[in-house]
Amino acid sequence: MIEVQSLTKNYGAVRAVDDLSFRVEPGRVTGFLGPNGSGKSTTMRMILGLDRQDAGTATIAGRPYGDHRYPLHEVGALLESKAVHPSRMAVNHLRWLAASNGLPQRRVDEVLELTGIEKVARRRAKAYSLGMAQRLGVAAALIGDPGVLLLDEPVNGLDPEGILWIRTLMRALADEGRTVLVSSHLMSEMAVTADHVLVIGKGRLIADTSVKELVAGAAGGSLRLVSPDATELRRLLTADGATVSLEPDGALRVTGLTGPQVGELARQHQLAIYELSIQQASLEEAFMELTKDSVEFNSPVTRNNERISA
């Protein structure tokens, strides 16, 4: 469990984190969401004792990071910036990490295997592709078999296979009862990865809610439905209390029912469904709506649009 209380950090005149309080519970993936520059990385660095806060406290398992005697046994972190010496072999990077926390060297082999980089373990880190480097970072985070994980934008720059791998891994770690905090600036990514989300903007907490609620709220419970039996389905859905509208491409936009409810309805009436999805676009829109007052860099286009619509 991670607990953050009234955490505040200034960089000169910039208030990067502003009186931030939240809890990250074990057994679920908690997304840490916010636009660029909203203070996600800074918050994580403070939790890890790397940056000194100006006010407030951050504890992991009840104690400040620096009070953990062998912290890798309890906490694993993957930070945004690379933290590996480029001319050191991956395996040696893991070796010194293991040695620093009194971990047996077999842990090095175990995490190399777990992350699938045992074949390239004797290459120098600078020869690693982005995906391999990210896997090495995950291997380093897992070396002490920690109960708490902090991952700062772990899917950045990864290909679809890599993204899926990270997602599955996080899911598995949370299911084992670990605390997983993962940052991202993509709401759509969090919608499929996280159980719970913390949304911040300009260093302040905007939302602390379950993904279900957020998705429902964000998309207005809206689903996209493609079916050869659209007309029949539309009638049935409306009869069940849903609001249904027709999209330009012939798809239905359904509000007021959940995905499973729509699917069940179609099955009962033996109607085919070709596509049923949460409205991703509207998810990002809702996220922008949520954080629009707190984005640091407003592009001129966005501002013009606001002026026009205002």
Partner 1 sequence: MTTATPPVMTVSNATIWRSFAHAEWIKLRTVRSTMYTLLAAAVIAIGICAIACQHLVSDLSGATIPLKGEFLVNPTDPNRSLVGTIVAQLAIGALGVLVVTSEYATGMIRASLCAMPQRLRWISAKFAVFTAVALVVGQVLTFTSFGIGQAILHIRHVGLSLGDPGALRIVVASGLYIALVGIMGAALGLIVKHTAGALVSLIAILFVLPGIISGAFSEPLQGHIMRFLPQNVGEQSITIARMSDHFSTWAGIALMVGYVAVLIAIGSALLRRRDA
Contacts with partner 1 by CB under 8 A lie at: 45, 48-52, 65-66, 68-75, 77, 79, 81-89, 92-93, 95-97, 99-104, 140, 145
Other C-beta atoms closer than 10 Å to the C-beta of 50 total 12
Task: Classify residue 52 by burial, with Cβ atoms within 10 Å: 0-12, 13-18, 19+.
Answer: exposed
Judged by CB under 6 A, how many residues of this single chain contact ligand ATP? Answer: 13
**37 versus 71: smaller Cβ distance to ligand ATP:** 37
Cα torsion 291, 297, 299, 303: sign: positive
Q: Tell me the DSSP string of 155-221.
A: TTT--HHHHHHHHHHHHHHHHTT-EEEEEES-HHHHHHH-SEEEEEETTEEEEEEEHHHHHHHHTTT
Tell me the two tokens of residue 188. Answer: 């759509």
149-188: contacts with ligand ATP (CB under 6 A): 185
What's the closest the beta carbon of residue 24 comes to Mg ion, in angstroms? 17
Does 11 engage in binding with ligand ATP (CB under 6 A)? yes
CA atoms of 55 and 5, how far apart (whole Å): 9
Window contacting ligand ATP (CB under 6 A); options: 30-38, 56-64, 69-77, 84-92: 30-38
Please give the angle made by the CA atoms of 122, 139 and 159, to the nearest 5 degrees: 90
Question: Which of 16, 17, 31, 41 is the binder for Mg ion (CB under 5 A)?
Answer: 41
Tell me the two tokens of residue 64. Answer: 């400040």
88-103: string of b/e by CB count within 10 Å (b at 16+)?
ebbbbbbbebbeebeb
Question: Which of 18, 24, 39, 199 is the binder for ligand ATP (CB under 6 A)?
Answer: 39
**48 versus 94: smaller Cβ distance to ligand ATP:** 48
What's the closest the beta carbon of residue 246 comes to ligand ATP, in angstroms? 37
119-130: string of b/e by CB count within 10 Å (b at 16+)?
ebbeebbeebee
Window contacting ligand ATP (CB under 6 A); options: 33-41, 83-91, 157-165, 241-249: 33-41
96 binding partner (options ligand ATP, Mg ion, partner 1, none; Cβ < 5 to 8 Å by kind): partner 1
39 binding partner (options ligand ATP, partner 1, Mg ion, none; Cβ < 5 to 8 Å by kind): ligand ATP
What's the closest the beta carbon of residue 59 comes to Mg ion, in angstroms? 22
Question: Which of 31, 37, 147, 201 is the binder for ligand ATP (CB under 6 A)?
Answer: 37
CA atoms of 245 and 230, how far apart (whole Å): 11
92 binding partner (options Mg ion, partner 1, ligand ATP, none; Cβ < 5 to 8 Å by kind): partner 1
What's the closest the beta carbon of residue 214 comes to partner 1, in angstroms? 30
Site for Mg ion, rule CB under 5 A: 40-41, 80
